[in-house]
Every structure is written in structure tokens, then in C-alpha cells.
A = this chain, B = another copy of it.
Amino acid sequence: MLRMAEPIIHHRHPEFAELFTRVCGNLRYVFQTKHEVFTLTSSGTGAMEAVVCNIHSPGETALYVNGGKFGERWGEILRAYGINAVEVKVEWGDSVLPRHIEAALEEHPHAKAVYLTHSETSTGAATDVRAIARIAGRRGDVLTIVDGITAVGAMELRMDEWGIDCVVTGSQKGLMIPPGLAFVAVSPKAWERVKSSRLPRYYFDLRAAQKALEANDTPWTPAISLVVGLDAALTMIRQEGIERVWARHARLGTALRAAVQAVGLQILAKEPSNALTAIRIPESVDSGKFSTLLKKTYGITAAGGQGHLAGRIVRISHLGYYDELDMVAVISAIEMALTDCGFVFERGAGIRAAQESFARHSS
């Protein structure tokens, strides 16, 4: 991404306005919304906080699903702002069922929003945000909020059509550029809340962002080199087509899961995300040694488990500009590292399963 090393243009300059207009249009396409997508200079966590502090007023109640570290974070942010945060707890690796949300909304009829995690990065589990948005939408006053940080650009998401009110993501996941930018898409229903919210905010105030956006600008100096990189990345996504990008991630995720099972390992998530795969490490395999081999010997970066999953899973990301042969390389590395760890299976079985999977789901 050499474009990010170019001399910096100023964000009040017409050249930036032209670029930013194109970026905002392409962001709306990626989120499948015709409403505003705001660009913040922050990590994805900043965008999560931006939603909370813009849509609530003190003392309100909200539901959030805790099925992993990132779902848990919604609860932390809500509580930091004095919101009565009702946890819908899910075993890490499981996905919340729409009827659990329905029951929680029955029990908490004053809840103003339901906070979800489309792809829970700590477990590799996916949430059926479409079905939950339908349930929440039936109650006039409940907003559906989606952390799409590892999902946007990887998993099907049609914000407007599905009736989702806010979606947040970061720049370094499905949008494929370095970290430092984050995005918040806001439905008209959520915007009504922004206008009446009484929580304190300044840097993340979406009213200021809206006012600046009318001049194709951001209210504060943005991370301009990253916006320039984003423009290039979004152009790539637009050229491939968002449905094709989702299908590619589905094809790669499906093949990796088939490969993992073919060598005799298990997937943690019951409803797996197509952005990453959390693999259960058998008792007989030293997970630390396995990860180190993947990284040092075979050059594949894998993350370990967090919290009580530490040492029990390895997480492989397949989010962004990956293709079939990239996955073949990853699967081969897994096979070789497993063999090095003394795990017994038929060498090549994973690759074969992946190839068969690719053949069944050809692009």
C-alpha cells in the first residue's frame, strides 16, 4: 500500500473532499445502506463507544450478548456510561438463539437496544443478526446494534434490508488496511436517538460528524494516510463486488473447516464465522508448541485462546485478501505442525477435503 506513504493532503482541501466523498459512497455500499456511515479516527472500540454515547440517555436499559471477549466489551462500555446493561450470556463458542433475545426482550420491556457481535473474534462464532434484528424491529422502540468488526467485508450483511440500526467496524479487518480508522453506520431510527441522547460526548459526537459530512469532511483531523489507503481498498472491494467478497470468505471458511475436521480436529464454534476459525487443540497436542511451529517454522500467524480458552484453541484468520491457494498453504502448515507435534492423521487429508470443498462451492 505505497499510496499511504505519499505526501499528506489536508482534510480541508478540495482534493480530500473528492476522495472522501468516494470513500463514503463505497462504505455505504459495503454496509449495504443508503444512510450515513461515519468515519472515526480510532480503533473499533472507539466506534463501539461512539454508538453507546450517542444513542442512550442516562439510566436507560439495554441488552447485550456475551458470547466472548468482544460481546463482553459491549457490557463494559454500557456500564461505563451508567446504562443498565442486561447480559444475555452464551457459552463461549456458542451463538445466541433468536428466541433467547425474544425472551430477554419480554423480560425487559423497557430495553432500548440489543447489542450483538456478528463475528465473535475470541471464539469464531457467528450471530444470526438478521433474525434478531427482525425480532427487535417488531418492538418499535428497540434498536439492533451490531459489532461488525471482524464481519464487515467477510459475512453477508444487508443493513437496511435486514433492519439493523447501527453497525461498527474497524479498518484493519475486512477493509484490509492498517488499524486506525473505525466506522459507524446509523439508521434513521437510530439517528432520532442521536438527536435526543443526553450522554456526554465530544470527539465521538455523531452530530458533529454529520455536520462535517455535509461538507465531505470529518469534524476533527482524520488519519489521512489511512483514508487514502482505504480509498484503494474499497475500490478493490467494489471491483470484486460485495456479494463475491462474502462468497469468497464463505468458500474459504467452509474449506478450512472441512480440512480441520478431515485431519481429526474440531471447530469450537457451532455456528462458525467465515472471518476466522477457532480450532480445538486436542489434549495430546501442546498448543504453545503448535502455535510457535505455525508461526516460526511455517510463517502462519495464529492467535491463541483468551480467558478460559487459553491453551485450548488456536484461531486462524481468513479475513481480507485471501484466495484458495492461500488457504491451501494455511492448511498445509497446520498439517505439518500437527505432525511435528506428534499428532497422528493421514497426511494430505486436510488438503484433499479443502479441494473437494472448493470444487463443490466453485466461484
Contact surface of A with B, Cβ cutoff 8 Å:
1-2, 4-5, 8, 10-11, 41-46, 49, 53, 76-77, 80-82, 170, 172, 178-180, 199-205, 220-226, 301
Instruction: Flag if B41 contacts A203 (CB, 8 Å).
Output: no
Instruction: Flag if B45 contacts A224 (CB, 8 Å).
Output: no
Give every chain B residue within 8 A of A179 (Cβ-Cβ): 8, 11, 41, 221-224
Give every chain B residue within 8 A of A301 (Cβ-Cβ): 10
Instruction: Flag if B80 contacts A178 (CB, 8 Å).
Output: no
Give the docked Cα–Cα distance between A74 and B42 (Å). Answer: 20
For the complex formed, measure the closest distance between the CB of A3 and the CB atoms of chain B, giving whole angstroms: 8
Instruction: Flag if A202 contacts B45 (CB, 8 Å).
Output: yes
Q: Name A's interface SS.
A: loop
For the complex formed, measure the closest distance between the CB of A218 and the CB atoms of chain B, giving whole angstroms: 9
For the complex formed, measure the closest distance between the CB of A327 and the CB atoms of chain B, giving whole angstroms: 19
Instruction: Flag if A203 contacts B43 (CB, 8 Å).
Output: yes
For the complex formed, measure the closest distance between the CB of A323 and the CB atoms of chain B, giving whole angstroms: 18
Closest residue of chain B to A205 (Cβ to Cβ) is B80
Instruction: Flag if A178 contacts B223 (CB, 8 Å).
Output: yes
Given A42-B41, A44-B221, A203-B49, CB of A8 within 8 Å of CB of B178: yes
Instruction: Flag if B77 contacts A202 (CB, 8 Å).
Output: yes
Give every chain B residue within 8 A of A2 (Cβ-Cβ): 2, 5
Instruction: Flag if B203 contacts A81 (CB, 8 Å).
Output: no
- A sample of 16 cross-chain residue pairs with beta-carbon separation below 8 angstroms, ordered by A number, consists of A4-B225, A8-B179, A42-B42, A42-B46, A42-B220, A43-B220, A43-B221, A82-B200, A170-B221, A178-B223, A180-B180, A180-B224, A180-B226, A199-B200, A223-B223, A225-B226
Instruction: Flag if A220 contacts B5 (CB, 8 Å).
Output: no
Give the docked Cα–Cα distance between A2 and B178 (Å). Answer: 14
Given A4-B5, A8-B179, A179-B224, CB of A41 within 8 Å of CB of B44: no
This chain's copy number in the assembly: 2
Ranked 10 nearest A-B pairs via Cβ: A180-B223, A43-B220, A178-B225, A5-B5, A46-B203, A45-B220, A80-B202, A179-B221, A43-B221, A81-B200
Give the docked Cα–Cα distance between A41 and B40 (Å). Answer: 10
For the complex formed, measure the closest distance between the CB of A12 and the CB atoms of chain B, giving whole angstroms: 8
For the complex formed, measure the closest distance between the CB of A349 and the CB atoms of chain B, giving whole angstroms: 30
Give every chain B residue within 8 A of A200 (Cβ-Cβ): 53, 80-82, 199-200
With A43-B221, A49-B202, A200-B200 given, name 4 new contacts (CB 8 A): A178-B224, A179-B223, A179-B224, A203-B204
Give every chain B residue within 8 A of A1 (Cβ-Cβ): 5
Give every chain B residue within 8 A of A5 (Cβ-Cβ): 1-2, 4-5
Given A76-B202, A202-B76, CB of A180 within 8 Å of CB of B41: yes
Give the docked Cα–Cα distance between A11 and B301 (Å). Answer: 13
Give every chain B residue within 8 A of A204 (Cβ-Cβ): 203
Give the docked Cα–Cα distance between A77 and B203 (Å). Answer: 9
Closest residue of chain B to A46 (Cβ to Cβ) is B203
Give every chain B residue within 8 A of A178 (Cβ-Cβ): 8, 223-225
Give the docked Cα–Cα distance between A221 and B182 (Å). Answer: 11
Give every chain B residue within 8 A of A223 (Cβ-Cβ): 41, 178-180, 223, 226
